[in-house]
Amino acid sequence: AQKITQTQPGMFVQEKEAVTLDCTYDTSDPSYGLFWYKQPSSGEMIFLIYQGSYDQQNATEGRYSLNFQKARKSANLVISASQLGDSAMYFCAMREGPSQAGTALIFGKGTTLSVSS
């Protein structure tokens, strides 16, 4: 079974509009972390935002926010006021288990976001 599901292969948005990239996850572990990474055409993986399973509030980082719905097991990324430079592939990832590093991040298949002017 897929641990991380990103159902939108591609999304299109106009500059300055908001966009939501979907991510659902599957785990039976009560302790986990959810991450979003951005991969521009240059190929590097850039960390955007993190949400812990016990965090009471949705994570925010500048124009990025994470709509965390624990009961639905969803962790959608919301990008407000899209910019041309936001055009990239976006990956949702999950780490299972308590606070122990070294546990692998498992990635979804990604969503390609295209921002037009």
Partner 1 sequence: EPEVTQTPSHQVTQMGQEVILRCVPISNHLYFYWYRQILGQKVEFLVSFYNNEISEKSEIFDDQFSVERPDGSNFTLKIRSTKLEDSAMYFCASSESQTGANVLTFGAGSRLTVL
- Chain residues binding partner 1 by CB under 8 A are 31, 33, 35, 37, 42-47, 50, 52, 91, 93, 95, 98-110
Return the number of the residue (18 or 46) whose C-beta is nearest partner 1.
46
For the CB of residue 107, give the shortest distance to partner 1 in the complex, in Å: 4
Per-residue buried b or exposed e for 94-108, using 16+ beta carbons within 10 Å of the residue's own CB: bbbeeeeeeeeebbb
Of 57 and 100, the one with the shorter C-beta distance to partner 1 is 100
d(CA 32, CA 34): 7
Check: CB of residue 87 under 8 Å from CB of residue 18.
Answer: no
CB of 109 to partner 1, least distance (A): 5
Our CB check for partner 1 shows the closer of 78 and 89 to be 89
Could you give the angle at the alpha carbon of 68 between the alpha carbons of 43 and 39, nearest 5°? 5
